[in-house]
Structure formats: structure tokens, C-alpha cells
Amino acid sequence: MLTYRQAKASDYLEIAKLHVKNWQQHYRGDFSDHFLDVEAELEREEVWKDRLSNPSPNQVVLVAEKDGEICGFACAFLEDDAEHGTLLDNLHVLATVKGKGIGRHLMGMVAQEALKKKPKGKLYLWVLKNNTSAMAFYERLGGVNFETVAGNDIGDQEVLKCRVTWDSLKELARW
């Protein structure tokens, strides 16, 4: 059975492990093997422990569970940017359950939260340019590649990342 809920502080290890697993599957070549295989786990554990034990007031973290285990999560910062609105900072789903609507449903839940905060709210996210499957997924959900920039705010190498935006969340919120 699949359920959705707000994340709890005690979820940080499961979320961190899922996050690293997805990075290892999708970001190999963008980040060094050393970072992905050695450093990422501790780095993500620290990030998620802090995010879930000391959440910022505009943070929303949602998880999808299948048979009691976290199989997907989304983390957003409501109204994070004056121009682009809510930042969907993370959306990750286990490869074994991809294609079952979990990512779409989590995005819909984030869109609903964003609309509660601001009825005409917008949404944006950053995705690595080389993550073509994620880009295709976001485009199917109405996202538009607003810009592509070089950055080194995550990982250990400079990467090209795309800002994908939604100027209206009504359709996305229906999922």
C-alpha cells in the first residue's frame, strides 16, 4: 500500500540514503565517483538531519511510503524567490517504483502547499542538464526550461543546471 505524509525528524537516514542512491544512479559523470561513493552519504545525512530537526519556517518535506518504507520524497521551500516562487529543492523516487505516479503525486502535493501560501504562486526547481529523464518528466508536467547556468553549489564539480519553472500551479496541484 502506498501512503503519503509529512516527514518526521526520524526519517532523515532513510531520506538521505534514497537521496544518495538517486544521485549515484543519475549524476555519475556530473559528480566525481569519489564524491558519490565516499562523501555523499555523510554529507546528505548531515543535510537531512539538520533540515528535519531544525526546519526553516517555509520548508515542506513530504514522503511516499510503500509497505512502511520511504520510496520517494519531496522537499520545497515555499515562496523562496520573489520572481519564481516556491523552490522544489528535491524530488526523488526509488527506481524500483518509478512510473507509478509517485513523483507526480508528490509534486502535486507541493503545488497544493504553495497555493495555500500564495493563491497565484509559482514553482521552480533546478535539475542537472544531463539528467534528461528528469527534464522530460518535468516538461510532461508543464515545466519550462527558463535558463541553464553553470554552478557548483552541490557535488564536487561544476555542473550545468537548468531552472525549470511553472508560472501556474493549478494543473500541477490536481495530481
The tens place of each residue's pLDDT in the chain, 175 residues long, gives 899 999 999 999 999 999 999 999 988 888 999 999 999 999 999 999 999 999 999 999 999 999 999 999 999 999 999 999 999 999 999 999 999 999 999 999 999 999 999 999 999 999 999 999 999 999 999 999 999 999 887 777 888 999 999 999 999 998 7
The helix (H) or strand (E) run that includes residue 41 is helix 40-53
Q: Is-above-0.85 flag for pTM?
A: yes
Domain that holds residue 159: 2-174
Residue 130 makes CB contacts below 8 A (sequence gap 6+) with 27, 29, 30, 159, 160
Per the structure, the count of domains in the chain is 1
| CATH number of the domain where residue 49 is located | 3.40.630.30
